[in-house]
Amino acid sequence: MIIDAHGHVTAPDSLYVWKSGLLSHRGSHGVRPPSVSDDQLREAWHAPNPSFGHVSHMDHLDEAGIDIQLISPRPYQMMHSEQPARIVTAFTEAVNDVIHQSVQLFPDRLRGIAGLPQTPDTDVAAWTKELRRTVTELGFVGALLNPDPYEGTRTPPALGDRYWYPLYEALCELDVPAVIHSAGCKPPTREPYSLHFIQEETVAVWSLLSSSVLTDFPDLKIVVSHGGGAIPYQVGRFQPDVVRSGGVPYIDRLRRLWFDTCLYTQDAIELLIRTVGVDRCLFGTEKPGTGSQINPATGGWFDDIHTLVDGIEWLSDGDRQALYEKNAVSLFRI
């Protein structure tokens, strides 16, 4: 079985038309979401999509041999920094409901990862209400954690800060992983949102490993998207300081986290696995998404991560089974 730990929801256009209205009137005309029928949602999952190379979401999964995909909100859509707070909350709840409805329609193919209403205008404890709803009532198996709810407009507290502790407490209580994945990136930042993802994931790993979070919350489960940002590839930069201080070796700290393989070159995936170990890696593609374009050098999709993993000759059969299935089954209790 192949379990893809990094996927995002596909939804009818009506959901995003409603979102544009929310942004236009800022909730003054109400925040009630549109009703999405099962037929509309089923069509969205099966319809060819110009953004995904004119192939449907389900066809992408079928072509890649993906049996189950964990789906979360499309991060750049989450608008965490917008005001007032109630439009952020309303949109988050609506997207989570569409994810749940999708899982109900395709119970053998999908599992839900919740979005959180991470508006900076409310405290972190307020975000946990939606976490509890999605896990206890809707059966979700994890939640996205955006390290930058300000979306590049201000500097947020790093993930090692006690600011985040109410969320960590709730995640441990519910025994579900947080999946670190940044969201939007608004001007006048210097970088596009794709680079913002990598930068925020890098800072997130550094902050967690430089703090007491993983000591204070020994049961906290953290998955870092996109191969952990830059940290696994720059790990040598951090090892000497730990030796000087006599602390826990940096690689041992790094192995307290999990990392997905949403990287688009075989060399990068190999380096990730060699650095953190196959037991801390989860197969992830973000398919369909940014990588859903044909690679002219190979004729395949850039996000055909399975072909890259299959090309790693030194992985044993047991390693592949752990990467494709067992690690995700254990971590997300699928």
Alpha helices in 65-121 (DSSP H): 85-105
DSSP class of residue 141 equals -
Torsion of CA 198, 154, 220, 254, to 10 degrees: 40
Strand order in the sheet with 110-114: 3-8, 68-72, 110-114, 142-145, 178-180, 222-224, 258-260, 281-282
Amino acid in the structure at residue 29: H
Pairing verdict, β 281-282 and 3-8: unpaired
- Provide the sign of the torsion angle of the four alpha carbons 284, 287, 290, 296, taken in this order: positive
- Provide the sign of the torsion angle of the four alpha carbons 96, 102, 108, 110, taken in this order: negative
Q: Is-contact 160 211, C-beta < 8 A?
A: yes
What are the tokens at 105?
A: 């329609």
Pairing verdict, β 68-72 and 110-114: parallel
As annotated, the active-site residues are 286
38-46 vs 57-64: helix crossing angle, rounded to 10: 50
Q: Is-contact 271 233, C-beta < 8 A?
A: yes
Q: CA-to-CA distance for 99 and 73, rounded, in angstroms?
A: 8
Q: CA-to-CA distance for 159 and 210, rounded, in angstroms?
A: 10
DSSP class of residue 208 equals H
